[in-house]
Amino acid sequence: MQSLQWPITLDFRKVVLPVALTASLLSLCLPLALQAAPQRPTTVDARATYFAKTQVWYLNTDGKRIVWYANGQLKAQGPYSGDARQGHWIFYHSNGKKQAEGNFEKGRMVGTWTMYHSNGKKESEGEYKNNFKDGLWVLYDESGIKTSEATYKGGFKHGPWTEYYPGGGVFFKGSYAWDKADGQWTYYFRSGQLYQSGNFTADARTGVWKICIQPGGPCGQETFQSQGAPQLSGLDSTTPAANNTDDPADLLDSMESTKGVPPSMDGKWSNDL
């Protein structure tokens, strides 16, 4: 037997690196361990499976899928066939209030869809065709007051568009052509009197615009020739803009990304399986 010779020298690559690698692997495994299924709530079917990535329970049974939040609150349910939603589905906020309902055909949204605020008031309603918004959509604030009337075609803003001030009164009326402001647009002060009026061509003001600096005037004209994004300015402090003038469509589009409505298996929405 060979005796040890002092001082002992260690090969750094053979000792330190394996230890570091082991520590690194343990650090990777720890988050996975923390994602283990929580204790099954009593409201979740005993056959349901926990999906750690989005922290939901789900069950496919008797031709339908049921999805629960991690705490056992019902999140969504509806017919399920061939790995796709089929038929009428209902989605729920985490507080139990209805969030959205409508129909699927082979995993694609079709027909009338209705979205709801977390307080139960209607948020928006309109038609889907082949997974795209199509036709008239009407949007409402959390108190149930109408904020917008929007027209879509194949998912694009296309047709008349009206935006309202909080509490009522038209802020603007205009139209879109394939996502671009186009044609006659008119903006109003909260009192209902003219603020600005003129034409857009492909998202840019064109031609002669009538502009009033306050309700009832004085008013003047300005000719626009340069190409640029439409801008609004001059609303005084007593005339706030509508509460969703950025883009009414954002309220609908956000349902598919940040509001937690479960997506279909093919990834149309991102918060399910």
Question: What is the spatial distance between Cα 118 and Cα 120, in angstroms, rounded to a whole number?
Answer: 5
Question: What is the spatial distance between Cα 83 and Cα 5, in angstroms, rounded to a whole number?
Answer: 67
Digit-by-digit pLDDT tens for the chain (273 residues) are: 444 444 444 443 444 434 444 444 434 443 433 456 789 999 999 999 999 999 999 999 999 999 999 999 999 999 999 889 999 999 999 999 999 999 999 999 999 999 999 999 999 999 999 999 999 999 999 999 999 999 999 999 999 999 999 888 999 999 999 999 999 999 999 999 999 999 999 989 999 999 999 999 899 999 987 554 444 433 333 333 333 333 323 322 333 333 332 222 233 332 344
What are φ and ψ of residue 18, in 5° steps?
A: -60, -40
Least Cα distance to 245 among 151, 134, 170, 158 occurs for 170
CB atoms inside a 10 Å sphere around CB 72: 16
Q: Give me the pLDDT at residue 83, please.
A: 87
For residue 44, with 0-12 CB atoms within 10 Å meaning exposed, 13-18 middle and 19 or more buried, which class applies?
buried
Least Cα distance to 174 among 164, 165, 162 occurs for 162
- 116 is written with which tokens? 């709801």
Q: Give me the pLDDT at residue 152, please.
A: 95
Handedness of CA 144, 122, 112, 126 (dihedral sign): positive
- 6 is written with which tokens? 């002092």
Contact 224, 204 (CB under 8 A): yes
The answer to whether the peptide bond before residue 218 is cis (omega within 30 degrees of 0) is: yes
Fold of 41-135+253-273: 2.20.110
C-alpha distance from residue 218 to each of 34, 213, 221 (Å): 66, 6, 11
CB atoms inside a 10 Å sphere around CB 184: 11
20: left (phi over 0), alpha (psi -120 to 50) or beta: alpha
Strand partners, 66: 59, 77
Question: What is the spatial distance between Cα 45 and Cα 72, in angstroms, rounded to a whole number?
Answer: 9
Residue ranges covered by each domain of the chain: 41-135+253-273
Q: Give me the pLDDT at residue 35, please.
A: 54
